[in-house]
Amino acid sequence: MNQITVIIPNYNGIKFLKGCLEALDAQENSPGHRVLVVDNGSGDGSLELLEEQFPQIPVIALPRNTGFCHAVNVGIEASDTPYIILLNNDTKVYPGFVRALYDAIEARPRAFSVSARMLMWDRPDLLDGAGDRYCVLGWAYARGKGKAAAAYSRPTEIFSACGGAAIYTVANRNYARLFSSTSKEARNLGHSIEYTAMTEMYDELKERRVFINKSMRKNLPLMASAVYSGDDMELIFMLWGIPWQRMTMSEANRLAVIGQMVQTAVVRANQYLDVLSSQRYVEGSRLMAGDAFLQLARAFLGARDQGLTECALLKVPVPDKNCVAAASALSGSTRQSDYMGSVRDGVLYVLLSNTSSENAGIIQERFLAAGYESCLVEEAAL
């Protein structure tokens, strides 16, 4: 029985796919894994390559580019294994990759994910990242990026795994990931909990009732409420440090109202983003509209200037002024976390997140190989 589904989101990545899939086929001592490609509406022949050279690999072909997050979630929904590995299409893994990630997460029952060390394609002695960290303003950045890979050879706890090469627990919706905590009791639960094993609490929550810990069991919160999407629990609020005098129906009702408010806010936020998608992106492409890209680029560059993150901005002249076509041609040379925008006619801008000016040279070389010259610019150039 397979233990792992390796999910590869792909968008116009034909020049990387073959090497990526061949490396997965050469895995040694794998605990049992299957590969699933989720294609984001590629138009570069990726689907034809998969059909002709890798007919044994299942493919989910989406009609358009829905982005990294949606694509991998489609893959996760289609998986039936206790673990999934997310892997970028522009990677080539070592023969022991799957086994090493599996052993690492199996040895840590409370771990939700384990991130692999990612090496730079053109400089394998340097790190592309070793997990993610974040700054006080919430900007995420790659740990160890551009530094010697040999200095990051020991396992360590990180804020989050990079979705470019990491294994995650998906144990049949029985587990919840700790999102935020303000108490020692909550943090002591670990990064993920098997909430269905908290039988007293779970039995109440699945009936859409607020849980009150009348028996005062120490391994359970004093009160808990859930936010639902259909029949599934999406979010659980747990209160650990309230006085027993406040464990009343009045407080239970208050907690239920808070849950409803959060649920309504999430629904409205998702609707808002859906409405704005046509304004933020040129339809059917990764190219952001001018104003949307300007706001995003200025936010990144401002945070960089304050030492909160790393990023680089590339200017790419497009001779035929067809920036949509240029963005499509260059998308395979960038990551899903990078952004493209056209602020003025005939000029494409590419914002490289978590990338220093020095490391941007690697991307520039890739662009040049694809027939596009580029140069580093600052915010004033926008």
Instruction: Over range 314-332, report the average pLDDT.
Output: 88
Dihedral of CA atoms 142, 145, 151, 152 in degrees, nearest 10, equals 30
pLDDT score at 19: 96
Listed in sequence order, the DSSP H helices in the chain are 14-25, 46-53, 68-78, 97-106, 184-187, 199-205, 249-280, 290-305, 323-330, 360-369
Q: Are residues 10 and 156 in the same domain?
A: yes
Q: Please report which confidence band the pLDDT of residue 254 belongs to, taking 50, 70 and 90 as the band edges.
A: confident
Q: Which of 280, 310, 334 is the last residue of a domain?
A: 280
Rounded to whole angstroms, the Cα distance separating 205 from 186 reads 18
From the list 10, 171, 1, the residue with the least C-alpha distance to 86 is 10
pLDDT score at 51: 95
Q: What is the DSSP string of 321-350?
A: --HHHHHHHHGGGS-TT-EEEEEETTEEEE
Q: Are residues 61 and 150 in the same domain?
A: yes
Q: Which of 119, 138, 172 is the last residue of a domain?
A: 172
pLDDT score at 43: 93
Any idea what the CATH number is for the domain that residue 356 is in?
3.30.70.270
State how beta strands 127-129 and 118-119 pair: antiparallel
156 CB-side CA count, 13 A? 13
Q: Are residues 135 and 190 in the same domain?
A: no
Q: Are residues 10 and 132 in the same domain?
A: yes
Q: Are residues 261 and 307 in the same domain?
A: no
Instruction: Over range 236-244, report the average pLDDT.
Output: 83
Q: Are residues 35 and 93 in the same domain?
A: yes
Q: 127: which strand partners?
A: 119
Instruction: Over range 2-17, report the average pLDDT.
Output: 93
- Give residue 298's domain range: 287-381
From the list 92, 121, 87, the residue with the least C-alpha distance to 9 is 87
Instruction: Over range 355-366, report the average pLDDT.
Output: 83
Task: Provide the domain count of the chain.
Answer: 3
Q: Are residues 168 and 181 in the same domain?
A: no
Q: Which of 222, 245, 280 is the last residue of a domain?
A: 280
